Amino acid sequence: MTTPFRSPAGAATVFSTDQKIRVGSLDALRSSRTVFLGRNVFGGVHWLPPSSSSSSSIQAVSTPAKPEAAKPTKRSKVEIIKEKSNFIRYPLNEELLTEAPNVNESAVQLIKFHGSYQQYNREERGGRSYSFMLRTKNPSGKVPNQLYLTMDDLADEFGIGTLRLTTRQTFQLHGVVKQNLKTVMSSIIRNMGSTLGACGDLNRNVLAPAAPYAKRDYLFAQETADNIAALLSPQSGFYYDMWVDGEQFMTAEPPEVVAARNDNSHGTNFVDSPEPIYGTQFLPRKFKIAVTVPTDNSVDLLTNDIGVVVVSDENGEPQGFNIYVGGGMGRTHRMESTFARIAEPLGYVPKEDILYAVKAIVVTQREHGRRDDRKYSRMKYLISSWGIEKFRDVVEQYYGKKFESPRDLPEWEFKSYLGWHEQGDGAWFCGLHVDSGRVGGNMKKTLREVIEKYRLDVRITPNQNIVLCDIKSEWKQSITTVLAQAGLLQPEFVDPLNQTAMACPAFPLCPLAITEAERGIPSILKRVRAMFEKVGLEYEESVVVRVTGCPNGCARPYMAEVGLVGDGPNSYQVWLGGTPNQTQIARAFMDKVKIQDLEKVFEPLFYNWKLGRQAKESFGEFTTRMGFEKLKELISTYEGSPQ
C-alpha cells in the first residue's frame, strides 16, 4: 500500500490555495548555460511506467551574450555580503585577527558557512559576553572514535563542559571564545571531523538512519547520504584556508561523486568557477536532505527539502530511490504567508541517477529560489508558488530525464534504536536516550570512559540520542552496568514521554529564543505524566512532545502530537495533530498559552482522548478527527476527571 502523507485537513500542505508568494530570480546567478523555461515541454502527466527505460535528453540553451535589459532584482543584505566575500572569506579573515571579542555583521553571516554562530549570554547584564557555537558535519550521524574523544576534550578545555547532540545528527559545542576558534576548528579537522557547511546557505548535514545494521538497504542509504554530502560540499577551499592555513584534509571521493559534480550536460554548473554548483552566491537559504529505507522514519523524512528513500527488489537489492521535495519547518508568528510544510512525492530514479537528480533539484532552487526576502527563500516556497508539476518540469530539464512514478511503500514507523540490538555482523549496538541531547556531568564522563576503553565508534540519531557501535557480546553486561550508574538507562527504565520528546537549546545563548525550551521541557514532561495519571492513562501510553523557544522549528515541533512553540515570555503557541510516525503535519491550535496554564488546556484533552478514542488511535489522530472547534468546547466545559 502507499503511505499517505497528509495534513489534518487531508491536503499535502498547510498553506491556503489562494496564497500568492512571489518567487524572484537573480540574473547574476545564472549558470553558464540556462534552461529555457517556457511552456510545459512535456505536456500534462509526467510519470513513466516503472518498466520504462526511455529517457528524454534535454538540450540546455546558452545564455544570450547580450540579454535584454531587465529591471534589477532586489537582493537581501546577505546576498550582497556573499557576493563581496571572495567565496566566504572576506571580511571574516580580517575580523578573526582583531582584538575584539566578536566579529562584525558581515563576518557573522559568513562564519555560518564555516559551521559557527556568534552568540552571547542573554541573561547577563551590564554588557555582552560573546562566544561562538560550533556545529559539526556528520553524514548519517557517524562519529569515529577519535573525533568523539576530541569533541569531549574540546568541550572541557574550550567550551562550557557539555556536548549537545542535535536533531540533525551532529554535535554542537557552545561557549568557544573568538581567540580559541582556530585552535578548536583545526583540532576538529585534524581528528577526522569537519564543521564545513553545518550552517549557512548551502546543503546542511545529510541525515540517514543511525542504526549500524549490516543490511544492504541500510548500508546503501548511509553510503548514499555520504555521497550526497560530498557532492554538495563546497569546493573553493575557503574553509581550509581559514582554519588550517590552506592544508587540505579531504579524503578521496568516489568517482561517481566527482563525475556528477563535474557533469554540465544540462547547464547546471558554473564553468571555470571554484564553486561549480554553488557559484559566488551559494543557495538562497539553508538546504536539508535526508536518506532512509522503507518503514524507517527515524529521520523525519518529510521535513526536509529533499527526502530520499531506497527502493529494493524482492531479493533486498537496492534498485533506485523515491524522491520527496518541499519540506521545511521554519515560519514567522503572525505572518500567515510563512508556514511549515511537509514534502511531497517528486518521482523515482534508478540508483545510478540519484546524484544527478539531487543536483538538478538543488540547481532549480539555486536558480529560482527567492533572494530578496529570506523569510521566503526556502525551496518549500518555490514549490508552493509553482506547484509540483511545474517544479518537476524544471528539475527534469536540469536532470535530462523524466522522473518515473514513485514506487509504493509500506507504512512508516518512528524508530528510536534505543537499547541493545544485533548489528547482523556478530556485533551489537546500544542506543542511549539523552534528554534534549545534552551530554554533561557524570553522563559525559562515563560515556567517555566506555567509548575510550572499548574503542567504540558512535552515531548520533535525529532524535538527539547516541548509539554505541560494534560492541562484542562479552562486553554487554559490563557496559550496561556502568552506563546505568551514570543515568544512561535501558529504554524500559526511561519514561515513554521522554523517549520521543525533543527541545531546542533556546535560552540563554540562542539569539532567536522567545522563551524556554531545553531548560523547560523536563518540567513540562513531568506535568504531562501527572496529567496522564490523573485521567487514568497507562504509563506505557505516550504522546510526542516537542518544544521550541521560537517559531523557526529546530526541534521540528510542527510534526509533533503536542508542539509547544515559544510566542512570548513563558508563553507558547500550541500545535496539535502530528502523528507518532511523523507523516502528518500539525496545526496551530491556541496562541499565548502561559506555561502555568498547560493543565487547563491539556488535561481535558487527555481525558477525552482516553474516553473517546478509537482502537489504537493516537492522540494526534484523535485531535485531528475531533476538530479544533470541538476540542475547544471540551476544554471550556471540562469539570475535572472523576477520581
Positions marked catalytic: 135, 204, 286, 288, 504, 510, 550, 554
Q: If 0-12 CB within 10 Å is exposed, 13-18 middle and 19+ buried, where does residue 24 land?
A: middle
d(CA 552, CA 354): 30
Parallel, antiparallel, or unpaired: how do β-strands 545-548 and 502-503 relate? parallel
In whole angstroms, what separates CA 363 from the centre of its chain? Answer: 19
174's enclosing H/E stretch is strand 171-176
> CA neighbours within 13 Å on the CB side: how many for 505?
20
Q: Are 287 and 362 in contact (CB under 8 A)?
A: yes
> CA neighbours within 13 Å on the CB side: how many for 352?
3
Among candidates 8, 5, 3, which has minimal Cα distance to 577? 8
d(CA 324, CA 289): 10
Q: Are 427 and 472 in contact (CB under 8 A)?
A: yes
Question: At how many degrees (to 10) do helices 598-612 and 619-626 cross?
Answer: 90
Residue 446 DSSP one-character state: H
Among candidates 205, 228, 75, 53, which has minimal Cα distance to 141? 205
d(CA 595, CA 516): 10
Q: What is the 3-state secondary structure (H, E, C) of 194-249?
A: CCCCCCCCCECCCECCCCCCCCHHHHHHHHHHHHHHHHCCCCCCHHHHHHCCCCCC
Side chain identity at 521, as an amino acid letter? I
Among candidates 304, 308, 305, which has minimal Cα distance to 293? 308
Among candidates 80, 82, 74, which has minimal Cα distance to 280? 82
Residue 10 DSSP one-character state: S
> CA neighbours within 13 Å on the CB side: how many for 280?
16
Cell (9 digits) for 467:
548509539
Cell (9 digits) for 624:
485531528
d(CA 404, CA 345): 11
Q: Are 226 and 139 in contact (CB under 8 A)?
A: yes
Between CA 399 and CA 72, with CA 80 as vertex, the angle to 5 degrees is 75
The dihedral formed by the CA atoms of 140, 142, 147 and 153, expressed in degrees to the nearest 10: 80
d(CA 419, CA 606): 29
d(CA 176, CA 181): 7
Residue 203 DSSP one-character state: B
